[in-house]
Amino acid sequence: MPDSPWVLYFPLLLVGAYLLGSIPFAQVIARVKGIDLRVVGSGNVGAGNLTRVAGWPWGGTAGVLDGLKGLFPVLLAQNAGFGKGAAGLVGLAVVIGHNWSIFMRGRSGRGMSPSVGMVLALDPVLLVWTTGWSVVGWKFGGGVGGFLGWGLLPIVSAAMGRPATESIVLLALSLVLMGRRMQGNADSPRGLRPALRRAIFDTDPGGDEFPQTVDGPLTP
């Protein structure tokens, strides 16, 4: 159980985690190179798009920084004495900030790297599941692989006997990731059926993989 000052400051920790998650490292690196990710490549403000337009060293750097955003706040919360549920909420705040950055006035990345960092700090064994589906997605198509890898993660957690609070937080994480995925482009078709198609296959009708505002397949 954390000391009482930490309990009192927990809401501030959540706000700080959201603001940290909102820092668009990929866009910062891109602007240093004279690039605006919002108007090039896929249009997504994420490491994947930066890799496409500037090369893997720059995209990899952004991916690592985004992963650390999810890693360190969760470790900080755990070291302060918070349990899996509360520490996971801190990581979830980071992912929400990454996906809907206040600094980018709305949607930005899709939360994969900070999610990996969050799970690495919270329960690294579970990354075996998501990484396995990443390999499947890379080989056979990332859309369904991402849906199964991250969408079913809370079920895997519960089946492995993890604490209920951890599984609930991972359920919230899956909903956040799939919600961002269902959001699609600003000009994507609206309605339940197109949204469900984006959630499962990561494409809009016609097979376009969100060419304007999202990153690559929903895999780590």
Fill in the amino acid letter for 153: L
Q: What angle do CA 60, 89, 147 make, to 5 degrees?
A: 55
Higher pLDDT, 87 or 136: 87
Average pLDDT over residues 153-167: 96
For residue 198, give both structure tokens: 């984006």
pLDDT of residue 110: 83
pLDDT of residue 218: 38
User: With helix as H, strand as E and coil as C, how does the chain read?
Assistant: CCCHHHHHHHHHHHHHHHHHHHCCHHHHHHHHCCCCHHHCCCCCCCHHHHHHHHCHHHHHHHHHHHHHHHHHHHHHHHHCCCCHHHHHHHHHHHHHHHHEEHHHCEECCCCHHHHHHHHHHHCHHHHHHHHHHHHHHHHHCHHHHHHHHHHCHHHHHHHCCCCHHHHHHHHHHHHHHHHHHHHCCCCCCCCHHHHHHHHHHCCCCCCCCCCCCCCCCCCC
| Confidence class for position 6, pLDDT limits 50, 70, 90 | low
pTM, 2 dp: 0.85
pLDDT, one tens digit per residue, over 59-105 is: 999 999 999 999 999 999 999 889 999 999 999 999 999 999 999 88
Lowest-pLDDT choice from 18-27, 64-73, 203-212: 203-212
- For residue 162, pLDDT over 80 is answered with yes
Bridge partners (DSSP) of residue 101 are: 106
Bridge partners for 100 per DSSP: 107
Confidence of residue 149 (pLDDT cuts 50, 70, 90): confident
